[in-house]
Structures are given as structure tokens and as C-alpha cells.
Chain A
Amino acid sequence: MEDKKIAVSLRDVSKRFGKVQANSKVSLDIYNGEILALLGENGSGKTTLMNMLAGLYFPDEGQIVINGQEAIIANPRDSFKYGIGMVHQHFKLVDVLTATENIILGLNGKLGKKQAREKIVEICDKYGFDLDPDKKIYDMSVSEKQTVEIVKVLYRNASILILDEPTAVLTPQEVEKLFNVLRKMKADGKAIVIITHKLHEVEELSDKVAVLRKGKYIGTLITKETTIQEMTDMMVGESINLDIERPDPVNPKKRIEVKNLSVVSDDGLKKLDDVSFDINSGEILGIAGISGCGQKELLEAIAGLQKTCDGSSITYIGDDGSKEEIVGMDPLKVSRMGISFSFVPEDRLGMGLVGNMDIVNNMMLRSYRNKGIPGFVERKEPRKLAEDVVNELNVVTPGITTPVRRLSGGNVQKVLVGREIASAPKVLLTAYAVRGLDINSSLMIYDLLNQQKKKGVAVVFVGEDLDVLLALSDRILVMCGGKVSGIIDGRTADKNKVGLLMTKLGGEE
């Protein structure tokens, strides 16, 4: 290892946003011909740190040394000059332009699309990318867009490549393809940094792993010589018991009966096909499935946000056994019938919360109809609720009047879940409630769901991590291609069985 040259070294780099210290005195070396995994929980400052190398942010303090000389990276142009290229988590591409146009964006000189095209094809051949240079971005899949981003960086002859959570949006096959490309680049002598919080990827791909925690640099490990346990400990700082509590169901009774539910999307695809199952009070129903198998449509149909086909039936069964048909009703109508639903959607800032409004106002979205003088909003209770949520769920925020879009993903989720739970629901629907959250935040969310379960709430938990689903759910509904592939007991289920059900209807060989 020692014979390798240091490509970039960060020395005591600090950056703060308002009251939040994103990075404090981080020192880190990046070597040529090596893949470094930058590991850390959400909000640990990985992306901020790398954005300073990409020239998007400027460090408040500290030095960046590139090839032995101090470098001032004031803007992205400087960053290219030093051979640094970054592939952002949210792709920076112009939708209406072609791949070629996006790749040459920002360069100087004559336009020369033809020569650019040739060079792009050359790069693609060299590293084994599959890319049509004349395709418009809006026609591309996520994986293709990522390819454009990587080619863009290579086109600029970058020798230091930073990828921010590159695998979050890819299928396993695409991930494998990406890793192969990255290995080729490494063999080519390039320095590669990947930001991730998936430990198995760290193990599979990286040579070294650097760990950040709460904006501070904790240390660097050599991947081969470390274990998942050690990495986790460094990442979270304290040993976390990965066991998730699973209390027994409390007096389970049928709460919602879904029968023959079908949904057809706008472009005529059958998203849900004749789905029937029950949701019980006092238990957690896990929903598993490969993404896009109808989980989203299922929840939205129950929440009254999705048009359903004729013949579908969703029946709500009250405590006294009274039955109400709620299919096709919008959420307002349902709540006027005295049925209290809570819905934590996948798209937190799109459907769940209003990004530009502060925590108090977001709390009010749920309660503004109920209290106070007609025509005026009541602020006292939402303010109290906001304070409670911030305190009890440890939301990291400068204050309750901060717009929620300024909070990190995990904190946004806490605000949303906190609000939904506060309305004392009978049914709690959650979609990917822990997506993008670090371990501690995730555990807190599981805990909240369990508390609700103990109160007799019917909880639906759509998840992607099978281990979590198996540890948390009382029953697991497995979906496959819009159909119910099987419903199994969470306590006795094994992972292989669920995996098989996910990929094959009914799980038979």
C-alpha cells in the first residue's frame, strides 16, 4: 500500500451550515489506484465533505492538498482542473439535452459535437459502458443516467472519481456492472471514492474504508483486515443491538378487509391484480416485494389516493364490528366518517410534508380543520406538538420554525412519523419508513411502530430490507408483479422463502 501516491489529502477541513456543523476538522488521504469507501450514517457529512472537493462548497477552515500542493477549489471549474470528478447522488443532468450535450457541458472551445461523440464512444468501449450518445436524458433509465455522469467525468480526464451513493438506485445486475467498471478504473490508476452506507458493498469493492461520524473523521481501515462489526462500531460510535423488538400482537381483530383490489396505471399497466388480504389491529403487517411490484399503489389505494378498478373492495371494520366500504373515497371523506388513517408516504417532501413550511405549520396540516375559531387557524396545539416531536424523537433542527426542507432525511422522516402518530390513528400505513435513515433513526422508527401496535393500531410496514421485515412484522405479505405471492407468519418465516416468493408467484420452483 505504501508505494501508492497520495492523490488528495484533506487537512483539518471544516464546514458549517448555519447552526449545523457538517464537517469539523476532517483529515483524510485519498490514494491513486485505490477504491476508498467513505462510510457514515446519514448526516455524518460524507456528501458535504466530497462537495468541497467538487467545488460546490468552499471549506470554512482547513486545507486541501492535491499532488503535494495546496489547492484552492473555489468552483467546479477548479475542481476539474485538478482532475476531480464527482457523480452526485441526485444526477446533475439537463433532461432535454442528449447524452453528448450533457457530457460536453461546461467545457470551453468550439462545440464540435462530432468529435465529442467519437471520444465518448471510445471511452465507452474502453471501460465497457453501454451508452447511446444521442439519446435524450428524459428517455433514459436511472442506470443510463448514471453512466452518462460517469462518462462525463472520464471525458474530462479526471483522475480522482467520487461517487455519491451510486448503488442506491440500481438493480443488483446494474450494481455488478458498475463495480466491474470501477475496478477497471482502479486498475487504470485512478483514485476512486464511493460514498455509501451499505456495508456489504464496502466489503465487496473497496480497498480502504474511511469512517465519518457526526461530521468528524473517525479513522481509516483496510477493508480486508476489518469486519462488519468493527465498521459498524466506528460508524455508530456505540455498539448497537441489531435485534429489533417484536411484542406479541395485542388482541388482533380484523380492521380492514381488502378484496379483489385491482389498479391500472395511466399507461394501461396492471399495477395491482386482484389483491385480497386482511389488515389486523394490534399487529404489524409487513409488505415485501421487489420495488415497483405494486406496494405503492396498494398503500395509496387504501389511503384513498389511487383510482381502483370496478369490483375492488376495501372494507373498514370498526371496533363494534360495523363495516364501512371505503374504496374510492378520498382521505377527507374517510376521515369525516370518523375513521382515522395515518399515511407515511414514500415521497416525504412531496406528499407528506411541505418543504418550505416550518415544523409547526406542517403539524397544522393535519389539524387545521378541527380547532379554534372557524376560519382561523389554531397554532398553539401544533406548536406544542412540534416541540414534543422535536424533543421526544430527537429531531436535529435549529428550531421548530425551520423549514423542513432544511432538515436531513432522517429528521424529516421523524417529523412526518411524529405527526402521523400524534393523530392517534386506527390504521398506520408506512412506505419505506426507514429509507435513507441511519441505524439509530431506524431503530427509533421501529420502536414507534411497535408502540402503536401495542396501542392496538393496525400497522402496515412496506419495507425493502428483508432482515428488518422478518424481525419486525407479525405477518408478511409478499407481492410479486402486482399480485399477492403469499402471506406468511413473520416469526417462522425464513429469508429464502420470502426471497423466492418475491421473485416467483407462489414461491414454487
Chain B
Amino acid sequence: MFNLVSFIPRAVAQGIPLMFGSTGEIITQKSGNLNLGIPGVMYVGAMSGVIGSFYYEQSVGKGNLNPFLAVFIPLICSLFGSLLMGLLYSFLTVTLKANQNVTGLAMTTFGVGFGNFFGESLIKISGLDVPSIALSRTSACFSAKLPFAKSMGWFGKVFLSYSFLAYLAIIVSIVAAIVLKKTRVGLHLRAVGESPETADAAGISVSKYKYLATCIGCMIAGLGGLYYVMDYACGIWSNDAFGDRGWLAIALVIFAIWKPDVGIFASILFGGLYILYLYIPSMGHMEYKELYKMIPYVVTLVVLILSSMRNKRENQPPAKLGLPYFREER
């Protein structure tokens, strides 16, 4: 029988990295920057956190971790790493007007390489003979859950059994949705992505908004990587384990029609699709499971086709997505 109570928490856990990634990318895209470097940013976010936590754990040695520092150090490292990626992307595409697609793809390649390179280095430093780094003590701090969740039966399991980063993801998405919809900053940001020349003529600094949106977007996306290592993977970094979640996050942006609040549900849905194969009986054929693993990708394709057929103007991508803005051009 399909066990919903065990399925939902796992779907949510899968969905959180996607939620961070897609919310970050939505904010970025709203400014007209198509950051295809998000998969790389998420790797960098994860690896920066791992590096911070690795050295903190090393410095403490066999003693007890300070739970606050154990969370704070990786969090700051992760945000800083992603911020640098955001600044790099913005500098290349906004200041130097480089091609956004090429820059983004290069950053993905770079970010994945960055993660794997330092992952390998840390594995060497730690001197273990397994091909991974275990940061279980840090992970325990990250995945601390509400103490009373266990005593509340299915409700506790479905709604309260997550770590703080998961709730943070939802809060960030809701805040992003409100900012985009209800505030002046959101209005300006949308104008920058839709029509930078209009925004410019209205006295809005296009470059500033693009920089800010891209950097904040990257920092949010990087948290997705951090959540993946510290919570989902229980603090164990192994190279390439993060997989292609970054690309799914970008596809989700389209699925969520550039709305972070829709993105919350879309992410959890995709998280569910990602692990659905574990819940479909394979009737003794292991090869079927491999086919079921395709589900999220097939759904992504279907969604892309369907969303390109929608005609409503509000649901279209920002009009100037992916295009650099030159003021003096005539």
C-alpha cells in the first residue's frame, strides 16, 4: 500500500534543495538575468559549507561542537561562496555584458568542478579510505528537529519533522513572492526584467537591481546545496552525489510560472516525483525502477511543452530575459 505519511516527508526533503534553487533563480530571472550557473552555484554553496564545517570540526577535535557555531560557520561560508559566484556572474553579464548563456554554463562547469576538486582534497586531508567526507556531528546540529514533533502522530511527521533550513526555504519563498507582488522593490525588479529601457527612463538603476537580484538569488540557491549535504545526505559529501538537481531547479522556474509561492508546491511535487520509483512496486523487475527514475525528467519535458503553449501574458518569462542592456544604443 502506498504510505503517504512516509512519502510526504521524503518528498519534502527532496523538494527543499529544488525550492531554494528555483526561488533563487526566479528572483534572478525576474531581473532579466538567465543564470544557467545555478547548478554550479548550488555545488559551490554546498562545498563552501562543507569546507567551513570540516575545519570547524577539525579545530574542535574530539570535543563537543558548539551547536550555534556548528550551524553558523557553514551557513556563512555557504552564503559567502554563493555570493562570490553571484558577483562573478553579475560582473561578467551586467558590467561586461557577456553572453548570459555562455557565462551561466561556464559557471556550472566551474561550480561542479570546484565542488569535486575541494571534495577530493578534503577526502585526502581527512586520510580516510572511503571516497567521502562525513560531517555527521555538524549534520546533527543542522537536522535538529522540533522536540515535540514525534509525539504528534501523522501530523507531526508530515508537517513538523523537518529541520530549520526546510522551514527557511518555505519562508524565503513566501517572502520572495510577497516582495515581488506587493512592494515597490518587486515592481521595480519586474520592470527591469520586462523592459530595462523603461526602468532606466523611470530612474531605476538597472545594473543595481540586476546585481542585487542575481547575488541574492545565488545565495538562496546555494543554501539548497547546503541543505542537501548537511541535512538530506546526513553530512556526507561524496563527489557528484548532488546530481542534476540544479537543472531541475531551473526547469521548476518555468513550471512555477515565475512565482515563488507556486514554486513551493512545485518543488515538493518534483521532490515526490524524484523518489516515486521507491514507492512503485517493481514486481521483481529491478530494471523497471530505472525507468521510473525518469519520471521527473519526463514531467519536466511535458511541463516545458505545456507551458510554452500557454498564451497568457502574465505567465510568460520576463520579456528581456537573457538579454544584456545597453543604454546608449539607438
- Interface of A toward B, CB cutoff 8 Å: 17, 54-57, 75-77, 79-80, 86, 88, 92-97, 101-102, 104-111, 136, 138, 406
Contact = CB atoms under 8 A, between A and B. Distances in A.
Given A56-B327, A76-B203, A111-B187, 14 more contacts: A54-B201, A76-B200, A76-B201, A76-B202, A79-B203, A94-B190, A94-B191, A94-B199, A104-B184, A105-B187, A105-B191, A105-B204, A106-B204, A110-B184
A106 B199 contact: yes
Contact of B203 (A77, A95, A109, A138): A77
Given A106-B202, A138-B313, A92 B195 contact: yes
Nearest to A111: B184
A72 to B, nearest CB: 15
B195 A75 contact: no
Contact of B188 (A54, A55, A86, A105): A105
Contacts of B187: 97, 101, 104-105, 111
B330 A94 contact: no
B192 to A, nearest CB: 9
B183 interface: yes
B58 interface: no
A107 B199 CA distance: 11
B194 interface: yes
Contacts of B198: 92-94, 102, 105
Contacts of B197: 92
Given A75-B203, A77-B203, A80-B203, A93 B195 contact: yes
Contacts of A95: 194-195, 313, 319
B287 interface: no
Interface string B168-192: 0000000000000011100110110
Contact of A17 (B190, B316, B330): B330
Do most interface residues of chain A lie in helix, strand or loop, or is the interface mixed? loop
B188 A97 contact: no
A374 to B, nearest CB: 32
Contacts of A94: 190-191, 194-195, 198-199
A415 to B, nearest CB: 16
Interface string B289-330: 000000000000000000000000110100100000001101
Interface residues of B, number: 25
Contacts of B327: 56
A108 B184 contact: yes
Contacts of B313: 95-96, 136, 138
18 contacts: A56-B201, A57-B328, A76-B200, A88-B201, A92-B201, A93-B198, A96-B190, A96-B319, A97-B191, A97-B194, A104-B184, A105-B191, A106-B188, A106-B191, A106-B199, A110-B184, A111-B183, A406-B330
A104 B200 CA distance: 14
Contact of A106 (B194, B203, B319): B203
A96 B199 contact: no
Contacts of A106: 188, 191, 199, 202-204
A104 B183 CA distance: 12
Q: Which of B184, B190, B205, B313 has most A Cβ within 10 Å?
A: B184
B190 A97 contact: yes
Q: Which 7 A-B pairs have the closest CB atoms?
A: A106-B202, A77-B203, A92-B198, A76-B203, A106-B203, A92-B201, A105-B202
A449 B158 CA distance: 77
Contacts of A104: 184, 187
Given A54-B201, A77-B203, A96-B314, A111 B195 contact: no
A106 B184 CA distance: 8
Contacts of A96: 190, 194, 313-314, 316, 319
Nearest to A108: B184
Nearest to A112: B184
Nearest to B314: A96
Contacts of A17: 328, 330
Contacts of B316: 96
Contacts of B182: 111
B127 to A, nearest CB: 57
B323 to A, nearest CB: 12
A110 B186 CA distance: 12
A95 B191 CA distance: 9
A338 B188 CA distance: 55
Q: Which of A57, A97, A110, A406 has most B Cβ within 10 Å?
A: A97
B309 to A, nearest CB: 16
A55 B197 CA distance: 12
A112 to B, nearest CB: 9
Q: Which of A96, A97, A104, A138 has most B Cβ within 10 Å?
A: A96
A97 B190 CA distance: 9
Contact of A56 (B200, B204, B319): B200
A73 B200 CA distance: 14
Interface in B240-270: none
Contacts of B319: 95-96
Contacts of A138: 313
Contacts of B330: 17, 406
A102 B313 CA distance: 16
Nearest to B187: A101
A73 B316 CA distance: 36
A406 B330 CA distance: 7
Interface string B203-219: 11100000000000000
Nearest to B200: A76
Contacts of B184: 104, 107-111
A107 B203 CA distance: 8
A111 B178 CA distance: 12
B330 to A, nearest CB: 7
A91 to B, nearest CB: 8
